Structure 1
Amino acid sequence: MATESDASSQDSSGSLDFSTTVASIRDAYFQMEMSVSRYFLLILAPSVIVFALSLIAVFILELPIIARLPMPLLGLLIFVTAVIYPKLQQDQRRKRMGEVFHLYVTHMTVLSTTNIDRVEVFRRIANEEEYGPLSEETRRIVQLVDTWNQSLDDACRMRAKKVPSDSVSDFFDRLAYTINAGESLSNYLVSEQEAIIRHYSTIYEGQLENLEVMKDLYMSMILSVTFALVFATVLPILSGTNPSATVAAVVAMYTFIQLGFLYAIYTVAPSDPIWYFPHGYTTTVERKLQIATAAGFALAIVAIVVTIAVMVGMTGIDPQSVPLPLYAAFPTTPLLIPGIVARGEEANVKDRDDEFVSFIRALGSSETAQQTTTTRVLARLRNKDFGALTQNIDDLYKRLNIRLSGTEAWRFFTAEAHSYLIQKFSEMYLIGREMGGDPKHLGELISHNMSEVLQLRERRDQAATTLIGVVYGISAAATFAFFIGLGIVQVLSGMTMGLETSASFDPGTLINTKVYDIGVIEYLLTLTVLVNAMLSSIIIRIVDGGHKVNSYMHFVVLTWITAIIGSMTLELVGMLLAV
């Protein structure tokens, strides 16, 4: 009896989860900016047609079954994506809210401690485009107050019912209750700081745990597709099917799977950018990156020309003496230049983040204790050692000392620091000071919140390091398997060519080597190595949150490692089976 009741409870729980999911997808359709009828006409209907055509193609096209099977799967993927896209968009909006919520509340707290009206606090936050959907929600609250003459607490309560994030909804609900009860906005927001940071830490750590799950899934799927690619290379020698078509189909499936994991990791990974680039002002670091990138691509073009010249025999080097994977790897080498430069500058940005915590706390405490201007406090602080931030502090003092406006001086300071966190928190400190906030309180509030974020970043760096090891290892193992299959086929093809002189036995009746075009298959496997290196480097960049150019270094290193392993595997298989 107990077993039956447990089974029935599990069934009811499963049906409840399914109905809840369907209801959430349905609600997401009505919360889109596009009308439901227009979405059906422009998105859903074409996806149904594509899915139907993919099913028909399985029976019409005269291709090997392994090449036809991915077609309906691709059509089904397009259809399912079209159906759940509104839900994915809503989830992405919720995720974005959670990622910037701590900055949003900190910024609001800083403004609330100044001498401005509480509605003005919302107006200023609404103009901060970097908070994305939270800024939109704040603008809607301001519109309800200004246009529809709603009270601030009623406006917050109304929007709390509409936002997709539970934490933001609870925050607006409590804020509405606090305002209605007559409590000070600043007191409420200061008391909420610890809870908001703790909630952000929970979300961040949960995303890192999800990355661990994605890493295990990535390993499993890549290994499975690797075996499929090896079978697609070797089995046609017995079946006599077209190996080029089967290998091309599996390579396409391999690429789609990696693209799927790329999107999944992009969705799961914490969105916590390291870099900040100002608009309308090109810094020395930015110019250095631009020059390094231009030089890398220019030299890559030269390397491509040299590679083509070697391949066509214009240099006197025997083209057959160089394995094909090395031809693919050589042109990517100059991209190490921008990759190394970006990696070095990124290390400086991280050092500045670490030092800014001490700097902003010391600046706020000194201004309150000495009751003087920021310029005079900086005159002392610039002589202290703040590591990579020391030069930036000295430049900030010089600009303030020549009577440059505080806004402009701090803008140059944040631009040259190139740190997203420094830019956000410096802006908060400057606004708080200009509006009469207490420097010591501002400095302690900002330094505490930034310290919490930096601790979470350390955990993300550890997760990124683990992922790099996994990606490099799985890429090397997969490449080894790819080229072992190719090497075996290549050796067997050579063996059967030597046996064809016998009149009493035709080896083609057992081993179908004539269907193979070794060159085409080698090109396809080399293309797979390049695609794997490119997508893997992008995955690493998404997880570590660094500069896009930083991924070039991983791309080059992965390409060379896999190219060398592929070339050595072919040589090794040839030597072993020749014996």
Structure 2
Amino acid sequence: MATNEESGDAPKDVKDLISGFMSSTIESYQHMETPVSRYLTLVVAPSVVFFLLTLVVYVVTDFPLLISAPIPLLGLLSLVVAVIYPKILRDQKRKEIEDRLHLFITHMTILSTANIDRVEVFRTLGEEEEYGALSEEMRRITQLVDTWNQSLDDALRIRANKSPSKPFADFLDRLAYTINAGQEIQDFLLSEQDVVIQNYVTIYEGSLQNLEVMKDLYLSMVLSVTFALVFATVLPILTGTNPTMTVSAVVVMFAFVQTGFLIMIRNTAPYDPVWYHPTHQTTDAEWRIRISVAVGFLLTLALIVACLLVLMGRTGIDPDAIPLPIYAAIPTTPLLLPGVVARREEEKIKERDEEFTSFIRALGATETAKQSTTTKVLESLRGKNFGALSSNVSDLYKRLNMRIEPAMAWRHFTADSRSYLIQKFSEMFLIGRQMGGDPKKLGELISANMNEVLQLRERRAQSTVTLIGVLYGITAASTFAFFIGLEIVEVLSQMSIGLNSSQLDITTIIHTNVYDIPTIEYLLVIITLLNAVLSSLMIRIADGGHKVNSYMHFVFLMWSSSLIAVFTRVVVGSFLNV
């Protein structure tokens, strides 16, 4: 009985999922900036015509199925994308809002503690381009107030009804009610901090759970493609089809599958960058990374040229003395240098983030207690041990003591730290102090919010470690499967030569003459190279670190694939030739 109920629940869940998707798509059309009729005329209608044309081409032409089948699929894809594009845009805006909402609310809270007009708070936040869609919402709210003479609470309600993010819409509704009731914005925002942080934690953890689902789905899909590639390599020995074509088709499919998962992981991973990249300043850390990247690429180009000369027989070294997969791995090795340099700098940034919470709390509390300037407080604080942040605190004190403008001194402080969180929270602290905010309250607020983010980063790091293990494991397993199939085919082709006789032509049963072993090996090396590139990019997106970090994983993945390929061919060949 329970089984029947469970089987009945599955179609219901699918039906609810489809109905929810359709209702959200219809809602996205209702909130489009472009009129619906104009969008249907200029975008959807041409995609319908294109789809009908692809159907006509499929029916009329006489191409092979392998070529003709993708034509109507391309038309169908264009039609589906045209129909759901407004939903895609709305979902992207929703994610952008929810990824930055916690920093935005903290920034708003700090501005509200200053003695400025409440509309000016929204106007100031509208100038912060870093917040993206949230800044746009603030500009529209101020536009409703300034241009259309709406009250602030009515403007908030209007934008809440059009917001794609439910947490942000709820926040605007509560804020509108508070303003209408006559309560101070500062009191409301201070009490709202826990709610905002909990919402952010829920969204962040939801993204990490989605990454776990993506990881399991990726594992299943790559294993399926691996089996398909093994079949594409081995089955032509029985069917007589061209194995080079079948293997090439599976290689392209493998690249599409991994690229698709890369895009999905990019859209799923929470937005929480580690690095801060100042636009008008290049720090010593950035110079070290740039120099290491330049050296790494120059050495890689030199090794590529050297490997090509060996393969062409221009060096006197026997090209067959080195296995082909090793030729692919050797030129990647110098890229380990920039990967290690970036990884070391990133570890320092994470140490500074850990120490910054203590520093900003101590700075705010001491300023309030001593009723002193930031410079005087830093004079005593720079003697304390803030770990990797100590030198940055000392440099900040020196700049302020030299009467450098505070905004410029703090800008150098955040640039030297290279931390995204330190940059955002330092800017908030500086603005709050300049507008007359209480230093102790500012320090405690920033410290509490940053501690929550750092705890979430710990969970993200654990999730990334699991993903790294999966990617390295599936790389090893798939490479072993690829090359064991190749070795089996090569051994069978050698055996068929000895089995031929006047009574039996073995080539009528085992079609070894269709194989071009060197070409297939090249294709398998290409697929291991693609896997290393795309897997390293997945790791980089998952951990949110510097893009140069992916170089290190690329080298490790490429070398592990190459060594496993050589090991597989040597060991399996020795067993099968016994």
TM over 0.5: yes
- Change in Cα spacing, 1:498 to 1:92, as seen in structure 2 (3 Å) is same
User: For the structure 1 residues 79 and 488, does the alpha-carbon distance in structure 2 shift closer, same or farther, using more than 3 Å as the test?
Assistant: farther
Q: Are 1:469 and 2:469 matched, yes or no?
A: yes
Q: For 2:9 and 2:232, how far apart are their aligned partners in 1?
A: 45
Per-residue CA deviation, residues 413-452 of structure 1 (Å, 9 max, x unaligned), is 0000000000000000000001100000000000000000
Aligned to 1:488: 488
Correspondence for 1:139 = 139
Q: Which amino acid aligns with 1:336?
A: L
Aligned to 1:197: 197
Specify every segment of 5 or more residues in structure 1 that has no aligned partner in the other structure, as ranges. Answer: none
Q: How does 1:80-479 map to 2 (within 5 A)?
A: 80-479=80-479
Q: In structure 2, what is the equivalent of residue 570 of structure 1?
A: 569
1:554 aligns with 2:553: yes
The answer (yes or no) to whether the contact 1:51–1:79 under 8 Å persists in 2 is no
**How far off its partner does 1:54 sit?**
8.2
Deviation at 1:260, TM superposition (A): 1.1
- Report the Cα distance in structure 2 between the residues aligned to 1:59 and 1:524, rounded to whole angstroms: 34
Distance between the aligned counterparts of 2:466 and 2:283, measured in 1? 33
In 1: Cα distance, 2:44 partner to 2:293 partner: 38
**Structure 1 partner of 2:543:** 544
The letter for the 2-side match of 1:177 is: Y
Aligned residues: 577
Pick closer, same or farther for the CA change 1:236–1:297 going to 2, 3 Å. Answer: same
Q: Tell me the residue number matched to 1:532.
A: 531
Judged with a 3 Å threshold, the aligned counterparts in structure 2 of structure 1 residues 17 and 459 are, in CA distance, closer, same or farther, namely closer
Structure 1 pair 197–42 and aligned structure 2 pair: CA distance change class (3 A): same
The 1:124–1:12 alpha-carbon spacing in structure 2 relative to 1, beyond 3 Å, is: same
> Which letter does structure 2 place at the counterpart of 1:526?
V
TM-score, normalised with respect to structure 2: 0.95
2:325/2:562 contact within 8 Å kept: yes
Query: CA–CA distance in 2 between the matches of 1:5 and 1:361?
Result: 56
Code of the aligned partner of 2:155: A
Task: Name the CA distance, whole Å, in 1 between partners of 2:349 and 2:570.
Answer: 45
Deviation at 1:245, TM superposition (A): 1.0
Letter matched to residue 164 of structure 1: P
Opposite residue 506 of structure 1, the aligned amino acid is: D
The farther-off stretch of 488-497 and 410-419 is 488-497
Q: How far apart, in 2, do the equivalents of 1:24 and 1:417 lie? A: 42
1:209: Cα distance to partner?
1.1
Letter in 2 for 1:49: F
Tell me by how many angstroms 1:52 deviates.
6.0
Shift of 1:13: 7.1
One-letter code aligned to 2:471 = V
1:214 positional shift: 0.9
What is the rounded CA distance, in whole Å, between the counterparts of 2:574 and 2:261 in structure 1? 37
The 4+ residue runs of structure 1 with deviation greater than 4 A are 1-17, 33-36, 54-65, 67-79
In 2, the alpha carbon distance for the partners of 1:305 and 1:3 equals: 64
Amino acid at match of 2:175: L
Question: Which SS does the other structure have where 1:238 is aligned?
Answer: helix
| Distance across 2 between alignment mates of 1:278 and 1:254 | 38
Q: CA deviation at 1:21?
A: 2.1
- Which amino acid in 2 is paired with 1:139? R
Per-residue CA shift, 1:496-551, capped at 9, x if unaligned? 23444x22211111101111111221111111001000000000000100000000
In 2, Cα distance between equivalents of 1:6 and 1:483: 43
Distance 1:25 1:575, change over 3 A: same
For residue 262 of structure 1, report the CA deviation from its aligned partner: 0.8
Whether the 8 Å CA contact 1:51–1:78 is kept in 2: the answer is no
Q: Structure 1 residue 19: deviation in Å? A: 3.5
- C-alpha deviation, 1:79, in angstroms: 4.2
CA distance in 1, matches of 2:221, 2:157: 46
Q: How much has 1:398 moved relative to structure 2?
A: 0.3
Instruction: Pick closer, same or farther for the CA change 1:508–1:79 going to 2, 3 Å.
Output: farther
The CA deviation string for residues 329-365 of structure 1, in whole angstroms up to 9 with x for no partner, is 1111111111000000000000000000000000000
Match of 2:512 in 1: 513
Letter in 1 for 2:50: I
For residue 289 of structure 1, give the secondary structure of its aligned residue in structure 2: helix
Bigger shift: residues 510-519 or 82-91 = 82-91
Give a deviation string over 1:460-489, Cα, whole Å, max 9, x none. 000001110110000000000001111111
Deviation at 1:108, TM superposition (A): 0.1
- Asked whether the 8 Å contact 2:47–2:75 carries over to 1, the reply is no
**Are residues 247 and 341 of structure 1, via their aligned partners in 2, closer, same or farther at CA, if it must alter by over 3 Å?**
same
Alpha carbons 1:64, 1:242 under 8 Å: kept = no
**Aligned partners of 2:364 and 2:443 also within 8 Å:** yes
Superposed displacement of residue 11, structure 1: 6.8
State the shift of 1:43 in Å: 6.8
Distance verdict in 2 for CA 1:340–1:34, change over 3 Å:
farther
Measure, in 2, the Cα distance between the counterparts of 1:496 and 1:58: 43
For 2:114, what is the secondary structure of its paired residue? coil
Report the equivalent of 1:45: 46
Most deviating of 343-352 and 504-513: 504-513
Instruction: Give the RMSD, CA atoms, in angstroms.
Output: 2.4
Q: Matches of 1:131 and 1:252 in 2, distance apart?
A: 38
The answer to whether the Cα contact below 8 Å between 1:47 and 1:82 also exists between their aligned partners in 2 is no
Change (3 A) 1:212 1:19: closer
Q: In the aligned structure 2, how far is the partner of 1:47 from the partner of 1:447?
A: 54
Kindly provide the amino acid, as one letter, of the partner of residue 440 in structure 2.
K
TM-superposition CA deviations, 1:124-157 (whole Å, max 9, x none): 0001111111111111000001111111111001
CA distance in 2, matches of 1:3, 1:447: 52
The 1:329–1:99 alpha-carbon spacing in structure 2 relative to 1, beyond 3 Å, is: same
**Structure 2: stretches of 5+ with no match in the other structure:** none
User: Which letter maps to 2:116?
Assistant: I
Question: 2: CA distance between counterparts of 1:2 and 1:320?
Answer: 64
Q: Offset at 1:81?
A: 3.4
Q: Distance in 2 between matches of 1:257 and 1:474?
A: 14
**CA 102–510 in structure 1, closer or farther in 2 if over 3 Å, else same:** same
Equivalent AA in structure 2 for residue 535 of structure 1: L
Residue 571 of structure 2 aligns to a residue whose secondary structure is: helix
Alpha-carbon separation, structure 2, partners of 1:306 and 1:167 = 57
Distance 1:117 1:409, change over 3 A: same
Secondary structure (helix, strand or coil) at the match of 2:513 reads: coil
The alpha-carbon distance between structure 1 residues 242 and 166, as it changes in their structure 2 partners (threshold 3 A), is same
In 2: Cα distance, 1:354 partner to 1:447 partner: 10
Shift in CA distance, 540/164, structure 1 to aligned 2, threshold 3 Å? same
Q: Please tell me whether the aligned partners of residues 487 and 570 of structure 1 are also in contact (alpha carbons under 8 angstroms).
A: yes
Query: Contact 1:70/1:249 (CA < 8 Å) preserved in 2?
Result: no
Question: How many percent identity over aligned positions?
Answer: 59
- 8 Å CA contact retained: 1:48, 1:79: no
Q: Which amino acid aligns with 1:521?
A: I
Matching residue's letter, 1:349 = I
